[in-house]
């Protein structure tokens, strides 16, 4: 496995519940974990993320719920529909319904359908699927 140059590590309240959400609901794969440290390294396509139950080691200040203030993580997927269906089946509300957005880059315009959902610790996740123009 090749590690990305930037891999966010999120502090979570309950590692088992967070693993359930990321793996069973969003479709991430458990690459490896350290059970004693309550840590998991997850991937979905080319996205990589680490989650670790709060242990005080990484805290630079008081850590209060909700943890995800002021940040969102974009995860590019092949198909958002199965993820939305699993969220609905588990009665997990979307933060923002799917919408089509266009983003201008230097070379072209990228068109994506995307939605927002909050994980169990209120980190904001933006799942995106590229669509044809």
pLDDT tens-digit series, residues 34-60: 999 999 999 999 999 999 999 878 777
Would you kindly state where each structural domain of the chain is located, as residue ranges?
A: 9-55+71-130
Q: List the CATH code of the domain at 9-55+71-130.
A: 3.10.180.10
- Dihedral in degrees, nearest 10, Cα atoms 45, 47, 53, 57: 150
DSSP result, 54-102:
--SSS-SS---SS--TT-EEEEE-S-SHHHHHHHHHTTPPPSEEEEEEE
What pLDDT sits at residue 133? 62
Q: In the predicted model, what is the mean pLDDT of residues 119-126?
A: 94
5 — pLDDT class (breaks 50, 70, 90): very high
Nearest CA to 76 out of 119, 26, 121 is that of 26
């Amino acid at each position: 496995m090749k590690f990305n140059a930037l891999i966010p590590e999120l502090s979570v309240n309950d590692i088992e519940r967070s693993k359930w959400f990321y793996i069973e609901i969003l479709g991430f794969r458990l690459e490896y974990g350290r059970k004693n440290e309550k840590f998991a390294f997850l991937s979905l396509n080319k996205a990589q993320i680490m989650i670790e139950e709060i242990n005080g080691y990484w805290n630079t200040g008081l850590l209060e719920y909700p943890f995800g203030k002021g940040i969102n993580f974009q995860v590019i997927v092949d198909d958002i529909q199965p993820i939305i269906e699993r969220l609905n089946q588990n009665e997990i509300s979307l933060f923002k319904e799917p919408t089509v957005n266009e983003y201008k880059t230097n070379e072209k315009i990228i068109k994506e359908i995307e939605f927002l959902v909050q994980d169990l610790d209120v980190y904001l996740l933006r799942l995106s699927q590229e669509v044809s123009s």
